[in-house]
A and B are shown apart, each in its own frame.
Chain A
Amino acid sequence: MTVVAGSPHPSPLPQAGEGAKLASAPPLVQAHDLAKTFDVSVPWLNRVLERRPRQLLHAVDGVGFEIARGQTLALVGESGCGKSTVARLLVGLYEPTRGGFTFDGQDAHAAFRTPEGRKLRRRIQMIFQDPYASLNPRWRVEDIVAEPLKEHGLIAGAADRRTRVGELLASVGLSPQDMVRYPHQFSGGQRQRISIARALATHPEFLVCDEPTSALDVSVQAQVLNIMKDLQRQRGLTYLFISHNLAVVRHVSDQVGVMYLGRIVELAGKHQLFGQPQHPYTRMLLDAIPKMHETGRARTAVQGEVPNPLNPPGGCTFNPRCPHANERCRVERPALLEIRGVRVACHAVEEGRI
């Protein structure tokens, strides 16, 4: 079955095994120049009295990428670099300050505002970074997981729904008997699994996962990742996967985007990225991965000070920490260019200095 891009009707779920990517098909998700600015100024009165300026925080500053159907894009980067913000932009929780993103050919942010948006909502789901806060403390797990089912009218009968919720819970390694409990009665990892089960409930096509497994132990993590992979294989699910765990990223992703201070600095296939990292920040990041097999040995952390997002350095934002920085890096902001088969924003790489 071929998915016709821009078809006015949301495409039905691809059947099992048909998720193979079609090189010619346009990407399912396309973000262009997404930006989000927060106003973090102190209260007006203080600002006037203390003569402090208005403070704007550019959490995401012109991020663009595309993800083909059935593919996984992983976003990695320092904490605070704007990954979660990107995720929230994609699911419509934030209005972008600039730019936009299209889903299956339609402008998603425009669609979110229309009644049609509800259908779109079913197709785009998110797993939140903070499992506890994202679960309504007054609801039973059963209701939490069943909500999307009810909301989109996927399963009519209450009994059927319970069964389905039980299956979903079982698929993330929880017992169906846990349905009657409340979020606060679970451990952190268990909550995370509830939140995964909820996201999977509607059979979404595009799943935004904000650190879905960070609270899980490795064996459950293995279970969850395996489920996610299986779903991708069977139904052609598309993921945006945010994680700090590079080993996990390496395992799940097809493409990897490295973010630094609100921008993507390198975007490449996973093999290129892990094999031949281009951007100096990527290289440092990879060096910093803890090595399982060398107990007790310190690794090399990324050098230098983490920059202040409120007052980012001029030019290339990484320049203060970059061993290859030169004058140009300090004044000119590098664009994301296609170099040696990967997209990277670095003057040094562009000039072939590294």
Chain B
Amino acid sequence: MIAFIVRRLIQAVVVLVVVAFIAFLLFQYVGDPVVFLLGQDASPQQIRELRSALGLDQPFFVQFWHFLGNAAQGEFGLSLRQGAKVSRLIAERFPATFELAVVAALLALLLGVPLGVYTALRRGTAASQGVMTLSLLGVSLPPFLIGILLILVFSVTLGWAPSFGRGETVQVGWWSTGLLTLDGWHHLVLPAITLAAFQLALILRLVRAEMLEVLRTDYIKFARARGLPDRAVHFGHALKNTLVPVMTVIGLQLGQLIAFSIITETVFQWPGMGLLFIQAVTFADIPMMAAYLCLIALIFVVINLVVDLLYFAVDPRLRVATAGGH
């Protein structure tokens, strides 16, 4: 198992390098930072100078190599647009995104899983049909529309929740948290719902589908025959057997939440990484994008590693399969 983890860590490094490589490839197509760096009155001479000063005129592989060298030392340079350390900017923004993503994920999980179980158990009843249909709204309404509608209803019309920003935050070390203030939670509600809507629907539907399969198995029947309480049968035995696919998807979705909450963050002006990233894209802020993509890659690598380890934790059959070597 330790060999497994070590192997995965080595692979993770490869993944990061590949991501960085592709990221660099991409930058030729997302725009030219120099155009945005210099004002409209800059002379061609200035543009040429800046280009060479930034090393943008060097061959692709030289640029990439420089980037790797610096990145290996945890140095991603300055944001071209903001003129501040990329690492610091990301560190500043990470807590906001992370808190939003985690709250949204919890919301999606805590509602999605039980509702999924419920709709699977009460297949065909009006209530579960209703839940299923509602969940379709979650997957078919684009998040920007959900966000705007929420704002329209709850901020503008009712005035219950603020429409933008993170509210009051408290600094805990380098981490700024909005979870310790009432105002912070107040600001969190709408974005979290917006972000969770899709995940919630997906998890709900997935759990339901898997539950329906598992509920038909012999061991569930046998568990019932032993007179186990329904809760134990449904949540202990059935739910756990749905976990392999559900975990995979949840893992992926959590990654997606952290990585690509761009739209929600834009709508609610949530000062997170997604907002940072979309700005970086609009202004072709290469160091920022590179660092961001590497961070996302890292998040996914970690999440996927955890999911794979959880596979083992959840399903002993897989454990033996890998340990015994096939």
Cβ of A351 < 8 Å from any Cβ of B?
Answer: no
B24, chain A: closest CB distance, angstroms = 38
Cβ of B323 < 8 Å from any Cβ of A?
Answer: yes
Residues of B whose CB lies within 8 Å of any CB of A are: 1-2, 218, 312, 319-320, 323-324
Find out whether the CB atom of B2 lies under 8 angstroms from the CB atom of A44. Answer: yes
Q: A43-B312, A43-B319 are in contact. Are A38 and B324 (CB under 8 A)?
A: yes
Find out whether the CB atom of B323 lies under 8 angstroms from the CB atom of A45. Answer: no
Residues of A within 8 A of B218 (CB): 132
Residues of A within 8 A of B324 (CB): 38-39
A46, chain B: closest CB distance, angstroms = 10
Find out whether the CB atom of B320 lies under 8 angstroms from the CB atom of A45. Answer: no
- Which residues of A in the span 30-46 have a Cβ within 8 Å of any Cβ on B? 38-41, 43-45
Interface size class of A (residues with CB under 8 A): under 10
Residues of A within 8 A of B323 (CB): 39, 41, 44
A-B residue pairs in contact (CB < 8 Å), sample of 9: A38-B320, A39-B320, A39-B324, A40-B320, A43-B1, A43-B312, A43-B319, A45-B1, A132-B218
Find out whether the CB atom of A44 lies under 8 angstroms from the CB atom of B320. Answer: no
Q: Which residue of A38, A39, A43, A132 has the most chain B CB atoms within 10 A of its CB atom?
A: A43
- Nearest residue (CB) in A for B218 is A132
Residues of A within 8 A of B312 (CB): 43
Residues of B within 8 A of A43 (CB): 1, 312, 319
B4, chain A: closest CB distance, angstroms = 8
With A and B bound together, what is the CA distance between A132 and B218 in angstroms? Answer: 11
B122, chain A: closest CB distance, angstroms = 23
Q: Which 9 A-B pairs have the closest CB atoms?
A: A44-B1, A39-B324, A39-B323, A43-B319, A44-B2, A43-B1, A38-B324, A45-B1, A41-B323
Residues of B within 8 A of A39 (CB): 320, 323-324
With A and B bound together, what is the CA distance between A39 and B326 in angstroms? Answer: 12
B28, chain A: closest CB distance, angstroms = 45
Given contacts A43-B1, A44-B2, A132-B218, 12 further A-B contacts (CB under 8 A): A38-B320, A38-B324, A39-B320, A39-B323, A39-B324, A40-B320, A41-B323, A43-B312, A43-B319, A44-B1, A44-B323, A45-B1
A292-333 Cβ-contact flags toward B at 8 Å (1 or 0): 000000000000000000000000000000000000000000
With A and B bound together, what is the CA distance between A82 and B323 in angstroms? Answer: 21
- Nearest residue (CB) in A for B3 is A44
Residues of B within 8 A of A41 (CB): 323
Residues of B within 8 A of A38 (CB): 320, 324
A12-51 Cβ-contact flags toward B at 8 Å (1 or 0): 0000000000000000000000000011110111000000
B305, chain A: closest CB distance, angstroms = 15
With A and B bound together, what is the CA distance between A333 and B133 in angstroms? Answer: 69
With A and B bound together, what is the CA distance between A45 and B2 in angstroms? Answer: 8
- Nearest residue (CB) in B for A48 is B2
- Nearest residue (CB) in A for B324 is A39
With A and B bound together, what is the CA distance between A39 and B323 in angstroms? Answer: 7
